[in-house]
Amino acid sequence: MPRVNYEAPTSVEDAVKILAGASGMAKVLSGGTDLLVQLRSGRIKPDLIVDTKRIPGLIGIREEGGFFVIGAASPGVMLSGHAGLEHAWPGIVEGADLIGSTQIQGRASLAGNLCNASPAADSVPAVIAARSTVVIAGPGGRREAPAEAICTGPGRTSLEKGEFIVEFKIPKPKPHQCDAYLRFIPRTEMDIAVVGCGTNVTLDAGGTCVDARVVLGAVAPTTVIVEDAAKALIGHKLDEATLAALDKAAQAACKPISDKRGTIEYRTKVAGVLARRTAAIAFERAAAR
Amino acid sequence: MSKHHVTTTINGEPMEYLCEAQQSMLDVLRDELGLTGSKEGCSSGDCGACTIICDGDIVCSCLMLGVEAEGRAITTIEGIADGDKLHPVQQKFLEHAALQCGFCTPGYIVAAKALLDQNLNPTEEEARYWLAGNLCRCTGYDKILRAVMDAAEVMRAEAGK
Amino acid sequence: MSYLDKEALKVVGTRPIRPDGVDKVIGRASFGADYTMPGMLWGKVKRSPHAHARILKIDTSKAEKVPGVRAIVTAADFPDIPSEEAFIGEGPMNFRDLSRNCMARDKVLYDGHAVAAVAATSNAAAEEAVDLIEVEYEVLPHVIDVEAAMAADAPVLHDDMFTQGVEPKATKPSNVAKVITFTKGDIARGFAEAEVVIERKYTTQPVHQAYIEPHACVVAYGNDTQTTIWSSSQGQFMVRAYCAKLLGVDMANIRAVPAEIGGGFGGKTLVYLEPVAMALSKKCGRPVKLVMSREEVFRGTGPTSGGTIEVKIGAKKSGRIVAAELVLKYQAGAFAGSPVGPGCMCAFAMYDLDNVHITGYDVVSNRPKVAAYRAPGAPISSFGVESCIDELARELGIDPLALREMNAARDGTKTPYGPTLTNVGYLQTVEAARNHPNNQIPLGPNQGRGIASGFWFNIGGESSAAVHVNEDGTVAVVEGNPDIGGSRASMAMMAAEVIGIPYEKVRPVVGDTASIGFTFLTGGSRVTFATGMAVTQAAEKVVEQLKSRAAAIWDISAEAVEWRDGKAFPAGANAGSFEPLSLAEIAVKSGRTGGPITAEVSINAQGAGPGFATHICDVEVDRETGHVKILRYTAVQDVGRAIHPSYVEGQIQGGVAQGVGWALNEEYIYDKDGRLENAGFLDYRIPVMSDMPMIDAVMVEVPNPRHPFGARGVGEVPIVPPMAAVANAIADAVGARMRDLPMSPPKLRAELDEQDPPRMAAE
């Protein structure tokens, strides 16, 4: 590995100062499960690593107002260990929990998964489907942005120099609202998603969908919010016709590539399958509330 | 770029070392501290042979920087047995012939110990998924799983559960 | 002596803890990368980014200036040795090829081919220097796939390679290194008699052994030209022989010390790093450590071949096979030497056939040189043959086990490759599979059951073992085979059984090349058979000495002494009346009765009994994603006699899991420029724990009379049947016949989409 500098600031302000003042490439280290792999393989050669885990609040989950506020560097194991969050948003927890092995779960964070900006990131679709926002600190102070605004393409984010994510704000579910996340991988663990799908639905008392968000991963340069898939669900119960329309809408939204993990044709078909399967789970969960 | 001075706890003992920022915890353990029980199989977090426990959670030491250990409590394979007394997971690995070449074994033992520390009664499926980040190419996993489940039984009996 | 009476055995057949076990569960065992030496330098290899290119120039001047760099080597630092066949590893090898595989000369032949290496005072300096070595290439057209490499207009890798085994003699260089044929009976007459003919083509992809320990070594080239090599390999004598040849030094000047080995499966039966580290160490006068990264393991070391398998089987409607024809085309990688030979030998060996014709092609292409992988060659041909047999069974409406039983090879069957079988247990495996409870479990929707059999001939060969009685009555066993899966336990058990002492009193050690006689490498399923035979014979010699020492103490003749339960007894009343003498009592007096009690035996073991297996695999297919779940797996195998049953089961289970990976997801993915795209465990997908069910290893014991305990090799045959077993189960579950490995989800889903209307399991 090439030589690099390391800083571990203990306040948001110091971190911003270090990041903004860095000459050369500075990378934020939260869980490090992507960063260290890229570092070792020589894919990136940063001059400075800024470890954010020593900043108070960057690790931890609190409930505040109508939100779960999740510290950006909180490891996956913390999310799956949080009973309130798991009950509220099982899909978000499932997505975060699917990132890598138990060992990876001890480190990998939501912010890292989002800012690594892979379209296949497992934690991202359900977070976006829940209409979450992220709080960003930077030289200009703090700003808030929808989670879907961060990743702009493979490996690219909308964060400016000196900016980093401090926390995620995830709204608490409304009555009869719930989510689900599924991904397809060739094995049962340890693969990158060939397709991922997060579905978040709100039902009325009779089981008809009144609001929905369907988000696909790994089928385009960024995650995709499939408006037509939501439309296929809203105003309907989960019958065969609805599922067929959902499947079609999900497939239509796919603009994947063929690569070592899947073909265009296969990814498109499986996107439809996962849209149906996540909808079925989310509907069942929402109806049970 | 000067080296970083790190003060940490490894296997219950206070430890200080110097390391460069880009050195992984695995590099530090193996090359600086002579703790070669943690193995490097991939250096990308895919094989689990370098598994250690950091503040209670298992992590791949290849995906952690040596400097990050500052103030943490680290347990490696060398710290699992209690002196000469093997941990039940170690004992059961021997009894069940759960190792063939033995290279992945340290990672499994650390990961399995961490599993049983938090869940003395895992189902087969829970154990299989918990350990899915540890690759073994020799055993087909059968005897490893049996060893872990048997160790759980021993530990339940010891705990009176 | 023979110990075939199982009832009389006290140690063999039990399941003691392995002698090296504690070290391996507490992290104390020393593997290849765990060694360090005073003054040691860190090495790093520079590798080709091109699949095929001429090396025009290597400029090391910038790299030499990196602080800490002590030596840089290229092919110029190795002797350019002539072509010479080597009989050192498992499978064909040429010293010249191996030299050029370790360090490219003139041309690079695959992405990852070594072109230079650096030794420096730190890893970081070595890496920096490797990046600064400038290699000028002339990129040449490349070819990856086997049939493309055989095409008339394919880029030729070696201008001096002319196809062997063809008439008339080849006059033009070709990528086909060799053509081999095996013929038995009259194939044309056989097919003329056939009432049903099934003719199919199957393909497999190269798969890597994927041992978890990357290659690693430390080499110290001494001032007195004595070199010590610590390395992880399947044979320290193999390492010594290759290094001596490749560096042009005497074998006597190399001592190769076996480290613990973190898996090999055949992939560590040749050298990659040791000669390079030795050249570096020679140049700078300090010990040098070389350790591969996982990416280097995938790009730079040998997988086994991928290949095409064209099978044609003719049968009577009764199911009796009357003719079988096979054409195998195996990738050898960049240099000749695929395992197509054993692929041909094993393909039909499960069957008693009158008319057989087999043709095999050994073909080079721009991939890493293949290395042995568990039953080298057999799983590839057997995937085709055992799938085709299943297709025949379905065509005829005959139960696949019944079809196999009807055509089974048995004692007296002459194999297509020559030998006549004796004392084999194939039929017993078929019968045990049929009767196993797992074969009766009902299947649900989209679930299926597949059957496949497999054969491996097993080998014996040269082995040495020494047995030393220590003064306190404990025993040291020194053997020459690296312990790759628990063989120390088996050696100790056989010695303990013969000498009649507790297993715990025997300590087995794997000796270095100066400490024990020559021993062929750990491979071919030979260790428990051949080295076990040497250990047994050495232990017997020790017993003879113990008897004569007791006789000396009692002052009676040695024939009047009987040895049992680790003690000397007078053979009968006429021998005299003496209290029995224990091993310890004799040992402590050995100095006064003739000196140390010790024996070394070196043999060339013959009569390795062939191994047969029959597997049952149950799967469930997700029709919408093409995902295959292995529900249960039953592997029946004739193991001769299980010395340590747990490690025999372990061999079977491990082979099955590797086969399942081969079947479902493992493959090499190359881009259009011939660069490997999945050189890591993330995208080279070996099975993980949650992919596998428990694996029921069922041991059938048909003792091998040529081994004192009846053992036969068990390590290789379990990887032969799984690919076809999985394919046959998928066909049973959803009616999709997968003839192209791996049977990955996208391929299976595409196959299912072809079905119109969808077929159900019952159809």
Domain ranges, ordered by start, for chain A: 5-50, 61-171, 177-287
Chain A's closest residue to B64, CA to CA, is: A32
Task: Provide ipTM, 2 decimals.
Answer: 0.98
pLDDT higher than 70, residue C644? yes
Q: Within 10 A of A57 (CB to CB), how many other CB atoms are there?
A: 15
Cα separations (Å) of C757 from A46, C8, C754?
56, 62, 9
pLDDT score of C90 more than 80: no
CA distance C763 to C750: 20
Phi and psi angles of residue C196, each rounded to the nearest 5 degrees, phi first: -135, 135
pLDDT tier, C532 (very low <50, low <70, confident <90, very high otherwise) = very high
pLDDT at C224: 78
A250 within 8 A of A272, measured Cβ to Cβ: yes
Taking an 8 Å cut-off on Cβ atoms, the answer to whether B35 and C681 are in contact is no
| Non-local CB neighbours of A163 within 8 Å, separated by 6+ positions | A16, A19, A136, A137, A138, A139
Interior/surface letters B33-42, b for 16+ CB within 10 angstroms, e for the rest: bebbbbbbbb
Please tell me the predicted confidence (pLDDT) of residue C222. Answer: 83
Instruction: Using CA coordinates, name the residue in chain B closest to A99.
Output: B133
Rg of chain C in Å (alpha carbons): 27
Q: Which two tokens stand for residue C298?
A: 């995938």
Q: Does residue C225 surpass a pLDDT of 90?
A: no
Q: Which of C15, C292, C689 is best to mutate for the B interface (most B CBs within 10 A)? A: C689
User: Which residues in chain A touch residue C688, judged by CB atoms under 8 angstroms apart?
Assistant: 187-190
CATH of domain B88-158: 1.10.150.120
Mean pLDDT of C279-294: 97
For chain C, the chains sharing at least 3 beta-carbon pairs closer than 8 angstroms are A, B
Q: Residue C576: which of C591, C561, C596, C594 has the closest Cα?
A: C561
Cβ of A265 within 8 Å of Cβ of C750? The answer is yes
Task: Give Cα separations from A152 to A118, A224, B65, C323, C443 (angstroms).
Answer: 10, 11, 29, 62, 48
Exactly one of C395, C716, C751, C754 is catalytic; which is it?
C716
- Burial letters B91-127, b for 16+ CB under 10 A, else e: bbbbbbbbbbbbbbbbbbbbbbbbbbeeebebeeeeb
- The residue among C369, C157, C390, C378 whose CA lies nearest residue C267 is C369
Q: Are A239 and A164 in contact (CB under 8 A)?
A: no
Looking at beta carbons, which residues of chain B come within 8 Å of A37? Answer: 44-45, 63
Using a CB–CB cutoff of 8 Å, tell me whether B60 touches chain A. Answer: yes
pLDDT at position C1: 74
CA distance A145 to A149: 6
Residue A116: which of A46, A27, A8, A19 has the closest Cα? A27
- The per-residue pLDDT for B4 is 97
Work out the pLDDT band at C763, boundaries 50, 70, 90. very low
- Please state the rounded mean pLDDT for residues C672-696: 98
Is A199 in contact with A90 (CB distance < 8 Å)?
Answer: no
The yes/no answer on whether domain A61-171 falls in CATH 3.40.50.720 is no
Contacting residues for A76 by C-beta, under 8 A, at least 6 apart: A96, A97, A99, A104, A105, A106, A107, A108, A109, A123
pLDDT reported for residue A2: 66
Mean pLDDT over residues C748-755, rounded?
95
Q: Which residue of C has its CA nearest to B82?
A: C26
Residue type at C226? Q
Question: Would you list the domain boundaries of chain B?
Answer: 4-78, 88-158
Residue C293: CB atoms within 10 A of its CB come to 20
DSSP code string of A87-112: HH-HHHHHHHHTSS-HHHHTT-BHHH
Residues facing residue C408 across a β-bridge: C351
Q: Is the pLDDT of residue C668 over 50?
A: yes
- Name the residue facing A103 among B24, B129, B133 (closest C-beta): B133
C295–A190 C-beta distance less than 8 A: no
Q: Express each pLDDT in A167-215 by its tens digit.
A: 999 999 999 999 999 999 999 999 999 999 999 999 999 999 999 999 9
**At C762, is the pLDDT very low, low, confident or very high (cuts 50, 70, 90)?**
very low
| Partner C, chain A 223-282, Cβ-Cβ below 8 Å | 260-263, 265-266, 269-270, 273
| Termini Cα distance of chain A | 51
Contact check, Cβ <8 Å, A75/B58: no
- CA angle centred on A283, ends A278 and A287, rounded to 5°: 155
**pLDDT tens-place string over residues A132-169:** 999 999 999 999 999 999 999 999 999 999 999 999 99
| Yes or no, beta carbons of B64 and A1 under 8 Å apart | no
Residue A52 CA, chain-centre distance (Å), reads 19
Q: How far is B124 from chain C (nearest CA, A)?
A: 9
Interface test with C, best of A39, A184, A260 (most C CBs within 10 A): A260
DSSP A149: G
- CATH code for the domain defined by B4-78: 3.10.20.30
Q: What is the pLDDT along chain A (289 residues), one digit of tens a residue?
A: 567 999 999 999 999 999 999 999 999 999 999 999 999 988 999 999 999 999 999 999 999 999 999 999 999 999 999 999 999 999 999 999 999 999 999 999 999 999 999 999 999 999 999 999 999 999 999 999 999 999 999 999 999 999 999 999 999 999 999 999 999 999 999 999 999 999 999 999 999 999 999 999 999 999 999 999 999 999 999 999 999 999 999 999 999 999 999 999 999 999 999 999 999 999 999 999 9
Q: Where are the beta strands (DSSP E) in C530-670?
A: 561-564, 567-570, 581-582, 598-605, 611-622, 627-638
Q: Answer yes or no: is pLDDT of C761 > 60.
A: no
As a whole-number percent, the residues of chain B with pLDDT over 90 amount to: 98
**Residue C415 pLDDT:** 95
First-residue to last-residue Cα distance in chain C: 56
Pick the more confident residue, C755 or A49: A49
Quote the CA–CA distance of C310 and C198 in Å, as a whole number: 11
| C716 noted as active-site residue | yes
Cβ neighbours of A270 in C, within 8 Å: 624-625, 749
Instruction: Confirm or reject CATH 3.30.390.50 for domain A177-287, answering yes or no.
Output: yes
- Please report the pLDDT score of residue C756 as a whole number: 67
Lateral strand order in the sheet of C356-364: C176-184, C356-364, C321-333, C307-315, C196-204
pTM exceeds 0.95:
yes
Percent of chain C with pLDDT over 90: 96
* Partners of residue A40 in chain B, C-beta under 8 Å: 24, 43-44, 62
The pLDDT score that the predictor gives to residue C647 is: 98
